[in-house]
């Protein structure tokens, strides 16, 4: 792992080549081009690099208990509201460590802000940011209605801490698709972020992960294992983030249809809904078996009564995304079958798991808002951990 000194910022001039990179239809053609030959050193330096600032908080005194938060903040689109929420919410304002999933850095869809840095500076925490992608477009479905051109054009994961971050590294996870050919054209791959912090005489090894949305159950287990295997052998080990254990694989329409049929004949519609909150039982069992095999507990580290995201057929964006995968007759079927839930069902896809320490409290903050605006499509989760 890399020892983190005072600060290091990721900066590049790759924006001079964005249009040329986007002009290649196939990644193989790009990799053979003079354009790639010209920029590959800088590109690899950025995609495999880390940004950090260890000067924002000097807290290093011994403590017996810490609060750790994990939140997929949906790119940081509502960054000002998120900052205020961390300052004002009675639960998040007590955070000592935050795993921040989905951080933009120089993306037009988030006004070209450095989300991890601004959040850390605003709430007085040190931070480390690991980019997963150099994003070549405006964004995904529902994110392209803006006129700002990307600058740094990075997207990734961050860890914030009131305590100095001693060491860190990014971890490639096994890819499940080539994102250069996706609707949101990118270079890079999903990465986990590992960090180590010292609290008095205790060391904590942290892993933050954002599992690929297009993964199946085996893919998810492999991506999780890749990050767990890199967490250092510290007194306390913790992994958290967006596990994307939706019980579905969204890679292809045909594959999704087969999964729907399988669920219908094995657990039924109501059973499929129930499994959204208990993915470890059947459809995402490999992922949670991987945790148990490594000695990680997940039950006491999570509130099992509250979802962390919602499938809401009444939401226009959810509806549009669903229509990309299913035919009109099935949309009508879904609308009818979801009426007992008023069209909205919870899923538990954001998790903590760990070993060492004692969990005093674990909870989920449902539908966080600021000035009547929903701050993210995910709910934040947190744990209070006693350092034995």
Residues 13-71: tens digit of each pLDDT: 999 999 999 999 999 999 999 999 999 999 999 999 999 999 999 887 778 999 999 99
Is the pLDDT confidence value at 264 over 90?
no
For β-strands 191-199 and 358-364, DSSP reports them as unpaired
The CB density around residue 353, as the number of other CB atoms within 10 Å, is 26
Please give the CATH number for the structural domain made up of 48-136+143-244+349-388. Answer: 3.60.10.10
The answer to whether the beta carbons of residues 52 and 8 sit under 8 Å apart is yes
The answer to whether the beta carbons of residues 150 and 18 sit under 8 Å apart is yes
Tell me: the pLDDT tens digits for 332-342?
999 999 999 99
Helix, strand, or coil here: 286?
helix
Mean pLDDT of the chain: 95
| pLDDT tier, 200 (very low <50, low <70, confident <90, very high otherwise) | confident
The CA–CA distances, whole Å, from 121 to 7, 52, 116, 315 equal 13, 11, 9, 34
Stretch (H or E) spanning 71:
strand 65-72
E strands, 93-217, are 97-105, 126-135, 154-161, 165-172, 186-188, 191-199, 202-210
Q: Which of 54-63, 64-73, 120-129, 157-166 has the lowest mean pLDDT?
A: 54-63
The answer to whether the beta carbons of residues 104 and 136 sit under 8 Å apart is no
What average pLDDT score do residues 327-333 get? 88
The pLDDT assigned to 167 comes to 98
What average pLDDT score do residues 240-258 get? 90
Helix, strand, or coil here: 45?
helix
The pLDDT assigned to 258 comes to 86
Tell me: the pLDDT tens digits for 292-323?
999 999 999 999 999 999 999 998 888 888 88
What average pLDDT score do residues 243-259 get? 88
- Which residues are bridge partners to 194 per DSSP? 169, 207
The pLDDT assigned to 326 comes to 83
The pLDDT assigned to 79 comes to 99
Whole-angstrom distance, CA of residue 183 vs CA of residue 196: 36
Whole-angstrom distance, CA of residue 361 vs CA of residue 217: 29
Residues 6 or more apart from 173 whose CB is under 8 A from it?
189, 190, 191, 192, 209, 211, 212, 222, 223, 226, 227
List the one residue out of 248, 246, 260, 245 whose CA is nearest residue 327: 260
List the one residue out of 43, 45, 44, 48 whose CA is nearest residue 20: 43
The pLDDT assigned to 76 comes to 98
The pLDDT assigned to 325 comes to 82
| Assigned token pair, 320 | 């549009």
The answer to whether the beta carbons of residues 64 and 387 sit under 8 Å apart is yes
Q: What is the largest CA-CA distance in the chain?
A: 61
The CA–CA distances, whole Å, from 112 to 16, 150, 228, 287, 373 equal 16, 6, 32, 35, 21
Model's pTM, two decimal places? 0.96
What average pLDDT score do residues 153-157 get? 99
| Assigned token pair, 69 | 């938060």
Residue carrying structure tokens 């993915």: 279
Whole-angstrom distance, CA of residue 182 vs CA of residue 25: 11
List the one residue out of 280, 268, 271 whose CA is nearest residue 243: 280
The pLDDT assigned to 329 comes to 87
> CATH 3.60.10.10 spans which residues of the chain?
48-136+143-244+349-388
List the one residue out of 215, 262, 203 whose CA is nearest residue 62: 203
Q: Which of 196-205, 250-259, 294-303 has the lowest mean pLDDT?
A: 250-259
């Amino acid at each position: 792992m890399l020892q983190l000194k005072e600060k290091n910022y990721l900066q590049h001039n790759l924006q001079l080549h964005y249009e040329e990179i986007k002009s290649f239809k196939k990644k193989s053609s790009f990799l053979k081009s003079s354009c790639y030959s010209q920029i590959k050193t800088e590109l690899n330096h950025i995609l495999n690099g880390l940004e950090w600032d260890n000067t924002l908080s000097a807290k290093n005194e011994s403590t017996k208990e810490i609060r750790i938060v994990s939140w997929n903040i949906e790119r940081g689109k509502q960054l000002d509201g998120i900052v205020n929420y961390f300052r004002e919410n009675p639960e998040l304002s007590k955070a000592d460590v935050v795993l921040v999933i989905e951080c933009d850095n120089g993306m037009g869809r988030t006004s070209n802000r450095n989300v991890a840095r601004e959040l850390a500076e605003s709430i007085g925490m040190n931070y480390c940011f690991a980019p997963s992608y150099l994003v070549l477009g405006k964004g995904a479905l529902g994110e392209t209605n803006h006129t700002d051109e990307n600058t740094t054009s990075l997207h990734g994961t961050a860890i914030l801490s009131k305590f100095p971050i001693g060491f860190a590294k990014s971890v490639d996870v096994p890819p499940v698709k080539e994102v250069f050919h996706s609707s949101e054209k990118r270079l890079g791959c999903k990465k986990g972020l590992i960090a180590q912090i010292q609290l008095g005489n205790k060391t904590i090894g942290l892993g933050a992960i954002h599992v690929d949305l297009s993964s199946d159950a085996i893919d998810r287990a492999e991506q999780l294992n890749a990050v767990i295997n890199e967490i250092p052998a510290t007194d306390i080990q913790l992994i958290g983030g967006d596990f994307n254990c939706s019980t579905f694989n969204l890679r292809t329409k045909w594959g999704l249809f087969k999964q729907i049929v399988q669920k219908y004949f094995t657990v039924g519609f109501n059973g499929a809904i129930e499994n959204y909150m208990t993915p470890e039982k059947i459809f995402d069992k490999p992922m949670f078996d991987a945790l148990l095999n490594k000695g990680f507990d997940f039950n006491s580290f999570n509130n099992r009564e509250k979802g962390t995201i919602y499938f809401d057929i009444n939401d226009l964006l959810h509806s549009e995304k669903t229509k990309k995968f299913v035919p009109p007759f099935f949309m009508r079927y879904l609308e009818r079958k979801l009426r007992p839930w008023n069209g909205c069902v919870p899923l538990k896809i954001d998790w903590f798991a760990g070993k060492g320490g004692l969990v005093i409290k674990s909870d989920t903050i449902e539908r966080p808002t600021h000035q009547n605006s929903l701050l993210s499509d995910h709910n934040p989760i947190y744990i209070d951990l006693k350092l034995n």
